[in-house]
Structure 1
Amino acid sequence: MKKVLFTLASILLTVGIAQAQEDGPKLAKSAGKALAAYNQDPAGNGAKLTEAATKIEQALQTSEAQALASAWIIKGDIYSTRLQNELMMQSVNPNAKLSGDNDALESIYAYKKALEVPTVKKFEKEQAIDGIALMQPQVVNIGVAKYNAKDYGKAFLAFKASIDAHDLLKANKKKSILDETKEYNDQVYFTGLLASLAKQCGDAIPFFELLYNKGTDSVAVYEGLYNCRTELKDEAGALKILQEGRKKFPEEASLLFAEINYYLGKGRLNELTGSLEQAIKKEPNNANLYRVLGDVYNNLFTTVLEDTVQSRDKRAPKLKEYGDLAKKNYKLAIDKDPSNVDFNYSMGALLYNETNIIAQEMNATSFATKDGQKRYAELKAQMLVGVDEALKYFQKAESLDPSDQNVLAALLQAYGRKEDDQLYMVFKKRLDVVKKGGKNTEAYFKN
C-alpha cells in the first residue's frame, strides 16, 4: 500500500511540475495583458504594473517561456514602463525612490535575451531594439548615480550595458547616444575605470585594451592598463605598457610616478635617480620627492659602506658622493617640511651611518704604538662630532613624536656610542614603554 501511495505521489508531483511548465507561456501572456491594462489607465490600474512584474518573473522560471522572444520583450517593457513612470514621479517629487535597483539594466538584459532567441520574429527584433534605444540613456544615468554612491560594481554593470546597447544599435543601423567618437571612447574608458575601482581588473582590461589597440592619446588608459596588469601580477605586460606610456607621454607625471614606484619596488636605484630628478623638475615643492631621492642615495651609500670586497680607500670617493647627495636632498625635504618626523629621522640616520666609516677606521687602528693611540683618539673625536650632528635631527624627531620606535632606538644607540649612561637609560626606558604597547605622554626634547 505504501508503495502505491508513493507512486501516486510521484505521479502527482510530475503532473504538477508539467502543469507549471505549461503555464509559463500563459503567465507571460497574462503579464502582457496586465501591462496593457496599466498603460490604458495608469492612475486607475496602478496595481496592474506590479501584477505584470510578478507574473513575468514567474513565467520566465520556465524553459517554455524562456524560449519565447515575446516573453523577454514583455519583461523588458514592464521594467522600462516602471522606470519611466517613477522617473516622472521624481520630476515632481525629487525625494521619490525608485522601486528597482536598476530597472534600465533589467530591461536591457531582457531585450538582449529576446534577440538571442533563435526563433525571434522580425517585428519582435525591432521591438527589442527600440526598447534598448529607449533604455540606453537611463542605464547611464543610473550608472552615474551608482558611481556617486561609490557602488562601483553596479556602476560598472550599468556602463557596460550602455556599451553593449551601443553595439547592438549600431549592428541594427540605429542611433545611439554614444555615436560621437569622443562620447564612445569616454564611456569605454569610464567603464574600465569603474571595473578597476570595483577591484575587478579582469573585467577592466578589455575596455582599456579596446582604446589602447585603437592608438589612444589618453595617458589615463595607459595608467589604467598598467595598474590593472600590476594588480593581476602580469609583470611583463605591466612593464610593457609602462615603457610605451613613458615614451609616448614623457611629460605626464602619473606615469613618471608609476615608473618611480616600479623602480623602488625592484630596487633599481641607479635608474630611479633619473626618474626622481625629472619628477622634481615637475613638482619642485614636493618635499616627499626630495626625501625619496635622499633615500635612494642613502641606500647606495649603505651598499658601498657594506662592501667587503673593495678597500676602504677605493670606496671613499663613492661614499662621499652618495652621502653628500643624500644629505643635500634630505636637507631640501626638511626645509620644505621641518615638522616631518620621517625627514628628520632619515637625515639623522644618514649622519649617524657616516660615523660608521670612522668607526671602521678606528677598528683598524693599532694601539701598539703612540701614533696609533693618537690616531685613534683623533678618530673618536671626529666620530663624536658626527654623532652630535645626527642627534640634532633625532632630538627634533623625538620632539615631534615621542613614541616613534625607530627614533627612540636611534637615540638609544647614539647615546650608547657617546657613552652617556644617563641618557642611554632614559631612552632605554622610553623605548621599553613603546615596545610593550604603551605611549610616551610627552616628548623628552622640547625643540
Structure 2
Amino acid sequence: MLNKILILLAVVCCFNTAFAQKKNLTDAYFALDHGELDKAKEYIEAASVEPTTMNMPKTWAYRANIYFAIFRDTARTPAHQEGDLNESFKSLKRLTELDPKGTFGLDVFNTIIPMYDIYNLSGSKNYDDHDYQSAYDNFGKVLELSKMVNQLFNQTNVDTFTTLYYAHAAFKLGKKEEAYKLYDVLRNERKYDDPLIYQDFADEAAQSKDTLKAISILDDGLGKFPKSESMMYQQLNYYIFSHHPGDAIGKLKKAIDMDPTRADLYRALGDAYKNTDDTANARKTYEQALKLDPKNFDIYKSLAEVYYNNAVKTIDEMNSLPDGDKRIDILKASSDALLYKALPYLEKAKELDSTDMEVLNALKEIYARTNQMEKVKEINADIQKQKGN
C-alpha cells in the first residue's frame, strides 16, 4: 500500500512539474496577448529551455511573435533593436525545423511576412549604399524567410529579384562561386535573365585581363537587353580604357542618341576622336559638351589640349627645319594661332581649378611665347604656391 502511495505521489509531482513548465508557455501567450511584452519574454525564455516545452513548435512560434512584437514596440527605448529582430528570425528557423508540415504557419503569419519586408528593405538600402556585406546578410535572411514561407504554407515560390541581388552582393564580396551557382539557377532553372548577370561575368573577364571576352559577353547581353544603359556604359569603358577609341566612337554615338543630355558622353566621344587624331570632330564634340555642362573643368582642359597639342606638333615640325627655311614663319604663325585658341579654355580651366599643374605650365608657356610677361610672373607665383603645398 505504501509503495502505491509513493508511486501516486511521484506521478502527481511529475504532473505538477510538467504543468508548471507548460504554464510558462501559456503565460507567455497571454502576456503577449495583453501587451505585457517583458513578462511574455520572461515566460517564453523559460519555456524555451525547459525539457517539456523546448522542442515544441508552439514554443518557437510564440517566441518569434514575442520578439517581433518587442522589435516593433515604438514605446520602448531604444526601439527597433536589431537583436530583437534577429531573435525572432532565429525562432522562426527553429520552428521550421520542428514543424516540417507547417502546422503553425498561420500562428506566425503576422510575423514572418512583415519581417520579410523589413530585411528586404534593409538589404535594398545597403545595396544602394554599396554596403555589400550588409546587403548580402540581409538578402540572405530574406531568402531563408522565403524558404520558411514555402515550407509553412506549402508553396514553391522563388524570389528571383532578391536572389539576383544577393548573388551580385556575393560577387562584389569575392564569393564568386556562390554567385555563379545562383546565376545558373536563375537562368537555367527559373528562366530568368538580367543585365546584372552579364555585367558580373564581363567584370570577371575584364579582371582576368580578357577585355575582348568582356566586350563579347556584353554584346550578348545587349542583344537581349538593347536598352540597358548600364551594360552599354560598362562596355564603353572597356573600349576606352583598353585603348580601342575607334571602336568606342560608334558605341558612344549610340549612347548619345539614347540620352543626348549627358555631357560626360560627349566628353568621352571627344576623347575618342582626340585619340584617333580626328581633331575637328573632337573640338565640335567638346564644344557640345560645354553647352551641356559649362562649368566642367575637365572639358575645358580637354578642349584646350586639342589646340595645345596641335601647336606643340607644329612647333616640333618647325624646330626640325634648317635655319632660313621659308616654312618656319608659316609654321610659327600657325602654332601661335593654335596657342591663342587654346588660351581662353586654359584660363577658364584655371578659373575652375587653380591647382592643376598641367594647366598652369601650359599657360606659362603660352604667355611666354606671346610675350605676356606680367602674366608669366603671376603664373610662376601660382606654380610656386602649388609646389609649396
Partner of 2:342: 390
Does the CA contact (< 8 Å) of 1:34 and 1:48 recur in 2? no
Partner Cα distance (1:269, 1:241) in 2: 19
Name which of 227, 240, 245 aligns with 1:269: 245
Partner of 2:105, secondary structure, is helix
Partner of 1:426: 378
- The answer to whether 1:157 aligns with 2:164 is no
Distance 1:354 1:234, change over 3 A: closer
Partner of 1:415: 367
Partner Cα distance (1:284, 1:44) in 2: 59
Does the CA contact (< 8 Å) of 2:67 and 2:85 recur in 1? no
- The answer to whether 1:82 aligns with 2:34 is no
Name which of 21, 25, 43 aligns with 1:35: 25
Does the CA contact (< 8 Å) of 1:280 and 1:286 recur in 2? yes
Counterparts of residues 18-417 of structure 1 (less than 5 Å) = 34-42=24-32, 43=34, 46-52=37-43, 54-55=45-46, 71=55, 73=57, 76-86=60-70, 89=73, 97-99=79-81, 100-112=84-96, 114=97, 124-126=99-101, 130=105, 134=109, 135-147=111-123, 150=126, 153-154=133-134, 156-167=136-147, 170=150, 174-175=154-155, 179=157, 184-192=159-167, 199=173, 202=176, 204-213=179-188, 214-223=190-199, 225-226=200-201, 229=204, 241-301=217-277, 322-367=278-323, 370=324, 372=325, 374-417=326-369
Partner Cα distance (1:77, 1:155) in 2: 27
Does the CA contact (< 8 Å) of 1:260 and 1:275 recur in 2? yes
For residue 397 of structure 1, what is the amino acid of its counterpart? A
Structure 2 residues not aligned, in runs of 5+: 1-17
Distance 1:168 1:137, change over 3 A: closer
Partner Cα distance (2:299, 2:227) in 1: 28
Partner of 1:120: none
For residue 325 of structure 1, what is the amino acid of its counterpart? N
Farther off after superposition, 381-390 or 209-218:
209-218
Distance 1:385 1:98, change over 3 A: closer
Does the CA contact (< 8 Å) of 2:256 and 2:265 recur in 1? yes
Does the CA contact (< 8 Å) of 1:105 and 1:158 recur in 2? no
Distance 1:332 1:53, change over 3 A: same
Partner Cα distance (1:263, 1:422) in 2: 44
Identity of aligned residues (%): 22
Farther off after superposition, 228-237 or 162-171:
228-237
Partner Cα distance (2:333, 2:35) in 1: 99
Farther off after superposition, 42-51 or 325-334:
42-51
Partner Cα distance (1:365, 1:283) in 2: 48
Partner Cα distance (1:399, 1:142) in 2: 49
Normalising by structure 1, we get a TM-score of: 0.67
The CA deviation at 1:296 is: 1.6
Does the CA contact (< 8 Å) of 1:139 and 1:159 recur in 2? no
The CA deviation at 1:165 is: 4.2
For residue 79 of structure 2, what is the amino acid of its counterpart? K
Does the CA contact (< 8 Å) of 2:68 and 2:85 recur in 1? no
Partner of 1:365, secondary structure, is coil
For residue 331 of structure 1, what is the amino acid of its counterpart? E
Normalising by structure 2, we get a TM-score of: 0.76
The CA deviation at 1:347 is: 0.8
Partner Cα distance (2:47, 2:54) in 1: 11
Partner of 1:313: none
Paired residues, what number?
361
Does the CA contact (< 8 Å) of 2:252 and 2:269 recur in 1? yes
Partner of 1:102, secondary structure, is helix
For residue 359 of structure 2, what is the amino acid of its counterpart? V
For residue 295 of structure 2, what is the amino acid of its counterpart? S
Does the CA contact (< 8 Å) of 2:168 and 2:196 recur in 1? no
Distance 1:323 1:56, change over 3 A: farther
Farther off after superposition, 423-432 or 280-289:
423-432
Q: CA RMSD for the aligned pairs?
A: 4.0
